[in-house]
Amino acid sequence: MFLGIDVGTTGVKALLLDGDGQAHGYGYQVYPTFSDGLCSEQHAADWYDSAVSAVRAALQGLDPSAVEALSFSSQGGTLTLLDEQGRELRPAMTWMDGRASEEARELEAFFGAKDFYEIFGSRCNNALDAAKLLWLKRHEPETFSRAAVYAGVMEYMLLRFTGRCVSDVTNGAMRQLVDTRHGVYDRRMLTCLGITENKLPPLLPTGAPVGGLNAAAAADLGLAPGTPVFNGAHDQYCSALGNGLCAGGDLLVATGTTWVLFCVGDRLMRTEPKLVSAPYPIDGLYGAFASLANGGSSLRWLSQLTGQGYDTLNACLAERDLKRNDLFFRPYMANGSGFPSADPNARGSFSGLTLSSDAADLAAAVMEGVAFETRRAAEAIRRAGVPTDRVIMCGGATKSPIWLRILAAVLETDLFVPAIRDSACVGAAILAAAGTTGRSVRERCLSMVSSGLTVPCEEELAAHYREKYRRYLALSI
């Protein structure tokens, strides 16, 4: 069996898969985030302790010696400063931390917006490591200078598991420290930040062997010392692998608090509007993605506002004719409109309310509004020259049959939903399996991702939403 560990924003998931992609054990352990205004921090030690709990839960009742290898998926853009013994010098600044806005503007001005995107494959972002390193240099210079290594989440976990602190290009790209065209640290960026490359984790290929599980970690986890550990990837890339994206033309819609559209192509994508792009874990392919900041968070807001749980809202909608709902909802509830228009001043709204509108009507409008934004983003991706022939869904929205029906009709295509929902863990397990057996990542992706469910596009509903989408665009742009 192969162990995939996903160190996410709120907790660690651990999943044991065999070579056919069948799940044999699962564990999950949350950890706290400490937020105060723009500040958002976590303790690196909590990632490790939660991984221990999650792995032990996944192993319960199983023979640990059956675990042949493991690998990681990790949240990106979370920065921890470590001393020479690998101990954190301060709490990690997560990707939700917003303190480095001024530094991000300065970095973009230094490179120029066009060149910055060309080099790093994304807009300069105050939430990612480059800007935060500059912030730390200015606001915490003593801690900044004491650091032996500026690490991300996966890098810290690899250090605790194997004694080696290494990274890969997908995580390096999300840190905005790696020139994604060449897969190396960008020297102009390092000079601008005032750091040297020896304070950054060396870059190894995604899926490369890192080392054997050290004795301390093995004892904590309940695994055999020396169990092979392979280099992992950023969670969006692992999720794409875990959902079967192994050829150009696939589009993954990953639904959570934020929705992410991820596509795969045969070239490094530099598009307008700007997709985030970097090399993909499969040789010869490149990944690109865009984020919709107000996906699942919009329905959660409505659920909390109305006091109606998701199950209740879905049950009410199951009894209604969706074509009779003439409400519109713009899902710009936080951080503006996101991709493709990227208007930070856009705000959410309902249109068409009447005295007869109830919570279920509002829920249908929210689901439709998010689906319409998903179509807008998918159309922008296609206009940028990226084919999206097959649409795959994963995440929380796949638990709602109504939302899946709406999405299939709005996107005017059948949707494919893999059977195992924890796709980032699956992607990490695929990397471990490929490294151990010598079969390619593509082969392992094809053999370990289960087919799951197909949600058909209903033609009559699609025709209704085609017209409603036209009216939505007149409201939202």
Give me the domains of the chain, ranges plus CATH numbers.
2-237 (3.30.420.40), 245-417+439-477 (3.30.420.40)
Give the helix ranges, DSSP H, for 194-344: 215-221, 235-242, 296-306, 310-318
Q: Is 344 exposed, middle or buried (0-12, 13-18, 19+ CB in 10 A)?
A: exposed
Query: pTM of the prediction?
Result: 0.91
- Using the CB atoms, write b or e for 190-206: b if 16+ within 10 Å: bebbebeeebbbebbeb
Planar angle of CA 266, 207, 248, nearest 5 degrees? 20
Cα–Cα dist 146/359, whole Å: 54
The interaxial angle of helices 153-162 and 44-59, nearest 10 deg, is 60
Q: What is the dihedral of CA 194, 198, 203, 209, to 10 degrees?
A: -160
Cα–Cα dist 322/461, whole Å: 8
CB 402 within 8 A of CB 318: yes
Per-residue confidence in pLDDT tens, the chain, 477 aa: 999 999 998 999 999 999 999 999 999 999 999 998 889 999 999 999 999 999 999 999 999 999 999 999 999 999 999 999 999 999 999 999 999 999 999 999 999 999 999 999 999 999 999 999 999 999 999 999 999 999 999 999 999 999 999 999 999 999 999 999 999 999 999 999 999 999 999 999 999 999 999 999 999 999 999 999 999 999 999 999 999 998 888 899 999 888 999 999 888 999 888 999 999 999 999 999 998 878 888 999 999 999 999 999 999 999 999 999 999 999 998 777 878 887 778 899 999 999 999 999 999 999 999 999 999 999 999 988 888 888 999 988 999 999 999 999 999 999 999 988 889 999 999 999 999 988 899 999 999 997 789 999 999 999 999 999 999 999 865
The separation between the first and the last C-alpha atoms of the chain, rounded to the nearest angstrom, is: 50
- Using the CB atoms, write b or e for 238-270: b if 16+ within 10 Å: bbbbbbbbbbbebbbbbbbbbbbbbbbbeebbb
- Using the CB atoms, write b or e for 13-40: b if 16+ within 10 Å: bbbbbebebebbbbbbbebebeeeeeeb
In the three-class reduction of DSSP (H, G, I as helix; E, B as strand; rest coil), residue 323 is classed as helix
CB 323 within 8 A of CB 464: yes
- Across-strand partners of 466? none
The single-letter DSSP state of residue 167 is B
Within 10 angstroms of residue 454's Cβ, the number of other Cβ atoms is 10
Residue among 455, 450, 457, 456 at smallest CA distance from 418: 450
Tokens of 444: 């392992």
In the three-class reduction of DSSP (H, G, I as helix; E, B as strand; rest coil), residue 363 is classed as helix
The dihedral region occupied by 412, where left means phi > 0, alpha psi between -120 and 50, and beta the remainder, is left
Tell me, rounded to whole angstroms, the distance of Cα 120 from its chain centroid.
Answer: 17
